[in-house]
Amino acid sequence: MGRAAEFLHLNNHWTEWFDRDLVWGTPPVIAVSILEYVVFAPIFEELAFRGLLFAMLRRRFEFLPAALISTSLFALAHGYSLIGFVSVFWSGFLWAWIYERTGSLIPSMVAHAMNNLLVCLTVMALLR
Protein backbone atom coordinates (compact mmCIF):
# COMPACT_ATOMS: atom_id res chain seq x y z
CA MET A 1 0.00 0.00 0.00
CA GLY A 2 2.89 2.31 0.72
CA ARG A 3 4.16 2.00 -2.85
CA ALA A 4 0.69 2.68 -4.25
CA ALA A 5 0.42 5.75 -2.02
CA GLU A 6 3.78 7.04 -3.26
CA PHE A 7 2.74 6.49 -6.87
CA LEU A 8 -0.51 8.41 -6.27
CA HIS A 9 1.32 11.11 -4.27
CA LEU A 10 -0.70 10.43 -1.12
CA ASN A 11 0.77 11.22 2.27
CA ASN A 12 0.79 8.82 5.16
CA HIS A 13 2.66 9.41 8.39
CA TRP A 14 4.23 6.44 10.14
CA THR A 15 3.08 7.73 13.55
CA GLU A 16 -0.53 7.06 12.63
CA TRP A 17 -0.32 3.61 14.22
CA PHE A 18 2.34 4.54 16.75
CA ASP A 19 1.66 3.75 20.41
CA ARG A 20 4.38 5.08 22.67
CA ASP A 21 3.41 2.63 25.43
CA LEU A 22 4.48 -0.27 23.22
CA VAL A 23 7.82 1.42 22.59
CA TRP A 24 8.70 3.08 25.88
CA GLY A 25 6.32 1.52 28.39
CA THR A 26 7.30 -0.63 31.34
CA PRO A 27 6.48 -4.35 31.13
CA PRO A 28 3.15 -3.94 32.99
CA VAL A 29 2.16 -1.03 30.70
CA ILE A 30 3.09 -3.09 27.62
CA ALA A 31 1.04 -6.02 28.95
CA VAL A 32 -2.02 -3.80 29.43
CA SER A 33 -1.60 -2.27 25.95
CA ILE A 34 -1.31 -5.68 24.32
CA LEU A 35 -4.33 -6.92 26.29
CA GLU A 36 -6.28 -3.90 25.07
CA TYR A 37 -5.24 -4.28 21.41
CA VAL A 38 -5.27 -8.06 21.13
CA VAL A 39 -8.20 -9.04 23.36
CA PHE A 40 -10.55 -6.18 24.18
CA ALA A 41 -10.49 -4.20 20.91
CA PRO A 42 -11.20 -7.22 18.67
CA ILE A 43 -14.01 -8.44 20.90
CA PHE A 44 -15.77 -5.09 21.25
CA GLU A 45 -15.14 -3.88 17.70
CA GLU A 46 -16.35 -7.15 16.18
CA LEU A 47 -19.44 -7.11 18.40
CA ALA A 48 -20.21 -3.51 17.43
CA PHE A 49 -19.28 -3.37 13.75
CA ARG A 50 -19.98 -6.93 12.58
CA GLY A 51 -22.31 -8.36 15.22
CA LEU A 52 -24.59 -5.33 15.46
CA LEU A 53 -24.08 -2.91 12.57
CA PHE A 54 -23.32 -5.36 9.77
CA ALA A 55 -25.96 -7.82 10.98
CA MET A 56 -28.59 -5.06 11.12
CA LEU A 57 -27.67 -3.82 7.64
CA ARG A 58 -27.53 -7.38 6.34
CA ARG A 59 -31.19 -7.92 7.21
CA ARG A 60 -32.08 -5.04 4.92
CA PHE A 61 -29.43 -5.25 2.18
CA GLU A 62 -27.40 -7.80 0.24
CA PHE A 63 -23.92 -8.67 1.49
CA LEU A 64 -21.96 -6.12 -0.54
CA PRO A 65 -23.84 -2.93 0.44
CA ALA A 66 -24.08 -4.05 4.08
CA ALA A 67 -20.37 -4.85 4.18
CA LEU A 68 -19.35 -1.61 2.43
CA ILE A 69 -21.39 0.57 4.80
CA SER A 70 -20.37 -1.17 8.03
CA THR A 71 -16.75 -1.44 6.95
CA SER A 72 -16.60 2.22 5.96
CA LEU A 73 -17.87 3.24 9.40
CA PHE A 74 -15.38 0.84 11.02
CA ALA A 75 -12.51 2.41 9.06
CA LEU A 76 -13.70 5.97 9.74
CA ALA A 77 -13.92 5.23 13.47
CA HIS A 78 -10.18 4.54 13.51
CA GLY A 79 -9.46 8.12 12.39
CA TYR A 80 -6.54 7.38 10.08
CA SER A 81 -5.53 9.08 6.86
CA LEU A 82 -6.57 7.69 3.47
CA ILE A 83 -3.91 4.97 3.47
CA GLY A 84 -4.82 3.92 7.01
CA PHE A 85 -8.50 4.04 6.07
CA VAL A 86 -7.90 1.68 3.14
CA SER A 87 -5.92 -0.71 5.32
CA VAL A 88 -8.56 -0.84 8.05
CA PHE A 89 -11.33 -0.96 5.43
CA TRP A 90 -9.74 -3.99 3.76
CA SER A 91 -9.41 -5.81 7.10
CA GLY A 92 -12.96 -4.95 8.12
CA PHE A 93 -14.32 -6.13 4.78
CA LEU A 94 -12.47 -9.42 5.16
CA TRP A 95 -13.86 -9.88 8.67
CA ALA A 96 -17.40 -9.11 7.46
CA TRP A 97 -16.94 -11.77 4.78
CA ILE A 98 -15.71 -14.25 7.39
CA TYR A 99 -18.74 -13.49 9.55
CA GLU A 100 -21.05 -13.88 6.56
CA ARG A 101 -19.51 -17.23 5.61
CA THR A 102 -19.38 -18.75 9.10
CA GLY A 103 -22.34 -17.11 10.85
CA SER A 104 -20.11 -16.65 13.88
CA LEU A 105 -18.13 -13.69 15.22
CA ILE A 106 -15.44 -15.95 16.72
CA PRO A 107 -13.40 -16.38 13.49
CA SER A 108 -13.46 -12.64 12.76
CA MET A 109 -12.51 -11.88 16.38
CA VAL A 110 -9.57 -14.29 16.11
CA ALA A 111 -8.47 -12.81 12.76
CA HIS A 112 -8.80 -9.29 14.18
CA ALA A 113 -6.80 -10.28 17.27
CA MET A 114 -4.04 -11.86 15.16
CA ASN A 115 -3.85 -8.74 12.98
CA ASN A 116 -3.56 -6.49 16.03
CA LEU A 117 -0.99 -8.80 17.64
CA LEU A 118 1.16 -8.67 14.51
CA VAL A 119 0.95 -4.87 14.46
CA CYS A 120 1.95 -4.67 18.15
CA LEU A 121 4.84 -7.10 17.72
CA THR A 122 6.06 -5.26 14.62
CA VAL A 123 6.01 -1.90 16.39
CA MET A 124 7.87 -3.37 19.35
CA ALA A 125 10.41 -5.23 17.18
CA LEU A 126 11.20 -2.21 15.04
CA LEU A 127 11.07 0.60 17.58
CA ARG A 128 11.73 -0.81 21.05
Instruction: Name every residue whose Cβ is closer than 8 Å to that of residue 124 and which is 6 or more positions away in sequence.
Output: 22, 23, 30
In a domain, 114, yes or no: yes
In a domain, 43, yes or no: yes
In a domain, 45, yes or no: yes
Which pLDDT score is estimated for 7?
66
User: C-alpha 108: how far from its chain's center?
Assistant: 11
Other CB atoms within 10 A of residue 15 CB: 8
Mean pLDDT of 40-50: 97
In a domain, 97, yes or no: yes
In a domain, 93, yes or no: yes
Number of domains the chain is built from: 1
Mean pLDDT of 5-34: 78
pLDDT at 115 over 90: yes
Range of the domain at 55: 22-127
In a domain, 86, yes or no: yes
**pLDDT 10s digits, 53-100:** 999 999 999 999 999 999 999 999 998 888 889 989 999 999 999 999
> Number of C-alpha atoms within 13 angstroms, CB side, residue 59?
6
C-alpha pair distances (Å), 89 with each of 47, 81, 94, 123: 16, 12, 9, 21
For residue 19, name the pLDDT band (cuts at 50, 70, 90). Answer: confident
Run of H or E including 114: helix 106-127
